[in-house]
Amino acid sequence: MRTRTVAVVGGGCAGVLATRELLRCSDDRVVMIEPDEPGGGLAYGSARPWHLLNSRAGAMSADPDDPGHFARWADVSPESFAPRSVYGSYLRDVFHRAAAGGGDRLSVVRDRAVRVGSTRIYTEKSGQIAVDEVVVATGNPAAAQPVTVAGHPDYIADPWRPGALEAIPADAPVLLVGAGLTAVDVVLTLTADGNRDAPITAVSRRGQLPLTHVSSPAPVTDLSLAEPRTLRDLVRRVRTAAAEAGDWRAVVDGLRPSIDRLWGNLTAAEQEAFLRHLARPWECHRHRMAPSVGARVATLREEGRLEVRSGGIRAITAPPAGGLLVELEAGVQWFGAVVNCAGPGRLPAAAGSFARSLLADGHARLGPHGLGLDIDADGRLVGADGTVREHLWLIGPLRRGARWETTAVPEIRTQARALIDRLGYSSQLGHMATI
Ligand SMILES: Cc1cc2nc3c(=O)[nH]c(=O)nc-3n(C[C@H](O)[C@H](O)[C@H](O)COP(=O)(O)OP(=O)(O)OC[C@H]3O[C@@H](n4cnc5c(N)ncnc54)[C@H](O)[C@@H]3O)c2cc1C
């Protein structure tokens, strides 16, 4: 096979795992295009010491063939919940080892990709690069913005922006818009030094925090959900199984391998109904807090330092003296800062610049419900005209919609491995070295 050049756009978790697979089992060249240090990304790049993985170490290996690799690397129990910053170090180490094994077949372009031409990829500062295949691994869409107070200094649209939370005074009451895992991360950061004496309020439509992992999980239940006929049927069967299993976690975890098939079997209307009514409760059960994080959050609530409310935000105004006046269902309240903790928004509004250019140039079209981009069964982008783009591959969170389970490490490493197969390298898998 002729040596090809494969561009990997994005050097976060998905880009590193794809690069590792490409270098290990082909003779092709890989060009990673990433403005920051590879192995960073939203989840692991700037995590603080108190931010723990929400999965057990045993689930986080970069290598689909060696599930225990991360736990051994970090010298922790596979059952433990390691700091996300440790996982970031692991990804960087995985990347450096893969790069060393790949020799001069890997080049890293510290830049942003701006668009794709027929045989080239254009970057912001480094010009154009000739490529044969492109793997798009640019991460999550931007966060939804349920309320906007554009440009107000006390409205923090992006809590991940370096330094965004440190500027909030400890005596200022804070409102978090959203009560998911991002809100939990923000609570941990705001209370980490123990100096905060003003309360934190989290508000979301349902007022539901993520649930908590247990230290000793029940064995996963293999739920035979051969062909549920409707969403209602599916929900009924899952509820029954969860009640019978004794620990619902066993059922939720057991469903994971079937989720994409179940999601794909729903009609568009059922998928939309799921998004409206069930996605949030599902995510609360599926993406759980580490036990120690759950305990910390419970303590903060008992002490009255964290309040979680259900309902919406009716209005938000900026008084001249600073802070923000927020009309919640219980009345108007003043907050020194309002932090957006909403999850990813829908495309096209929430598309990052690269996904936007793919859409604008017709190389991609929106996937179901605007949750991501459309792909074929092999993970290739489907263009605006409905034809599959043979050389444009997508991995990671932007597959959402076309798939459901596509954001966590086990799914991403499986996608990275499948890519090798689809690119025609599988015959060389036997020659791979281990990481
Ligand atoms: C806070 C948080 C905690 C999580 N915890 C867990 C967990 O415990 N367990 C688990 O399994 N999963 C977890 N996940 C989910 C999952 O691991 C991440 O979503 C995963 O990191 C996605 O990887 P990614 O490479 O697609 O995106 P990212 O890691 O965000 O990387 C995207 C990269 O693309 C680059 N990029 C963007 N645009 C361009 C461009 N135009 N040109 C070049 N580069 C570009 C960015 O600089 C970035 O480095 C978590 C996610 C989050 C957000």
pLDDT of 17-70, one tens digit each?
A: 999 999 998 888 999 999 999 998 889 988 999 999 999 999 999 999 999 999
Pocket probe mutation, ligand 1, options 17, 81, 86, 138, max atoms within 8 Å of Cβ: 138
Measured CA to CA, the distance from residue 13 to residue 44 in angstroms comes to: 8
Residue 86 domain-assigned? yes
Which residue CA neighbors atom 50 of ligand 1 most closely?
43
pLDDT under 70 in the chain at which residues? 1, 224-226, 228, 426-435
Domain co-membership, 70 together with 85: yes
Which domain-ending residue is among 323, 340, 357? 340
Report CA Rg, the chain: 22
Measured from the Cα of 36, ligand 1's closest atom is 47
Residue 182: which domain range?
155-211+288-340
DSSP-assigned states of every residue in 77-139: -TTS--BHHHHHHHHHHHHHHHHHHHGGGEEEE-S-EEEE-SSEEEESSS-EEE-SEEEE---
Written as six digits, the tokens of 263 are 């999601």
Domain co-membership, 63 together with 188: no
Residues within 6 Å of ligand 1 by CB: 9-15, 33-36, 40-43, 53-55, 112-113, 137-140, 352-354, 396-397, 407-409
Domain co-membership, 252 together with 300: no
Measured CA to CA, the distance from residue 61 to residue 145 in angstroms comes to: 33
Residue 398 domain-assigned? yes
Å from CA of 415 to ligand 1 middle: 14
Å from CA of 119 to ligand 1 middle: 26
Measured CA to CA, the distance from residue 87 to residue 70 in angstroms comes to: 8
pLDDT of 434 = 37
pLDDT of 243 = 85
Domain co-membership, 136 together with 45: yes
Domain co-membership, 319 together with 424: no
Which residue CA neighbors atom 4 of ligand 1 most closely?
43
At 183, which CATH number? 3.50.50.60
Å from CA of 12 to ligand 1 middle: 5
Å from CA of 409 to ligand 1 middle: 10
Measured from the Cα of 45, ligand 1's closest atom is 29
Which residue CA neighbors atom 31 of ligand 1 most closely?
12
pLDDT of 1 = 65
Residue 83 domain-assigned? yes
DSSP-assigned states of every residue in 323-392: SEEEEETTEEEEESEEEE---B--TTTT--HHHHHHHHTTS--B-GGGSSB-B-TTSEEE-TTS-EEEEE
Q: Provide φ and ψ at 186, rounded to 5°.
A: -65, -40
Measured from the Cα of 160, ligand 1's closest atom is 1
Written as six digits, the tokens of 266 are 């729903």
- Which amino acid belongs to residue 148? T
Domain co-membership, 138 together with 52: yes
Domain co-membership, 362 together with 427: yes
DSSP-assigned states of every residue in 54-75: SS-GGG--S-TT-TTHHHHHHT
Which residue CA neighbors atom 23 of ligand 1 most closely?
13
Domain co-membership, 26 together with 125: yes
Residue 223 domain-assigned? no
Which domain-ending residue is among 306, 324, 340? 340
Its pTM stands at 0.94
Residue 29 domain-assigned? yes
Which domain-ending residue is among 286, 308, 324? 286
Pocket probe mutation, ligand 1, options 9, 13, 359, max atoms within 8 Å of Cβ: 13
> What stretch of H or E contains 398?
none
Domain co-membership, 312 together with 425: no
Residue 150 domain-assigned? no
pLDDT digits (tens, 9 = 90+) for 190-215: 999 988 989 999 999 999 999 999 88
Å from CA of 45 to ligand 1 middle: 9
Å from CA of 165 to ligand 1 middle: 20
Sheet of 120-123: strand order equals: 113-116, 120-123, 128-130
Measured CA to CA, the distance from residue 309 to residue 94 in angstroms comes to: 42
Domain co-membership, 177 together with 261: no
Domain co-membership, 258 together with 132: no
Measured from the Cα of 60, ligand 1's closest atom is 11
Domain co-membership, 322 together with 356: no
Measured CA to CA, the distance from residue 181 to residue 287 in angstroms comes to: 8
pLDDT of 430 = 42
- For 192-216, give one letter per residue: b (16+ CB within 10 A) or e: eeeebebebbbbbeeebbbbbbeee
Residue 245 domain-assigned? yes
Residue 225 domain-assigned? no
Pocket probe mutation, ligand 1, options 42, 121, 128, max atoms within 8 Å of Cβ: 42
pLDDT of 426 = 57
The number of domains in the chain is: 3
Short-list 112, 141, 137, CA closest to 126: 112
What DSSP character marks residue 140? P
